Structure 1
Amino acid sequence: MEQFVGALHVAEKAGEIVVLKFKRVGCAACASTEKQYAEKAKRYSAKAKFFEVDYDEGKAFCKKCEVKFVPSAHVYRGYSFLAAMALGKNSWDAFSDRLEQELAQ
């Protein structure tokens, strides 16, 4: 939680986006977008910070974030929560489009 709050604080000052991917080890749907998520993180490292949260290891944190399912992503601009989105193979394009939209602002 401290790392997350710290990332939001830095993002607030820099005008950056913070993306949290919630996943589970061994989840096929979670793994289906692993490569694309890593590519987005690398491509936009100057404008956004990308994190991954293992649901099983971070249950208390996930509960505070009100995570309902995995894979999913939460997108923040500084301290402002922007979206909670599905992040599986079939929902990747919607997530990617929303992220691109937020980064363009």
Structure 2
Amino acid sequence: MIHFKPYYAVIFTSSQSKHTNGYIEMANKMELLAKQQDGYLGMESARDSLGITVSYWESLEAIKKWKQQSEHLQAQLKGREDWYNWYHVRICKVEREYEFTKVESTI
């Protein structure tokens, strides 16, 4: 039996504006900074016409501290002023997970 402890996911969905100067650098900086935060568990991200970043956290308190982190606050402001047409944030409790990995045949 696998023991599983629930955790939280912050789902950040966004549409970028035409003004993306400095966006990639800031996104990379925020990922490095998030990894240093207590309660951070990981991150997954994809961008096409719609961007989706999901970060994983041990607790709601860890999420709240990340949202209020000073450099992250500056990035949020820059995002609203320049980088995003809109964004939507969802915070969810993950109570169960599973995955599939295809194993290639060696024959």
Q: Same fold (TM over 0.5)?
A: no
> Considering only CA atoms, is the larger Rg found in Structure 1 or Structure 2?
2
Higher relative contact order (CA closer than 8 Å, sequence separation 6+): 2
Q: Which has the larger helix fraction?
A: 1
- Normalised TM-score (structure 2): 0.30
Q: Which has the larger strand fraction?
A: 2
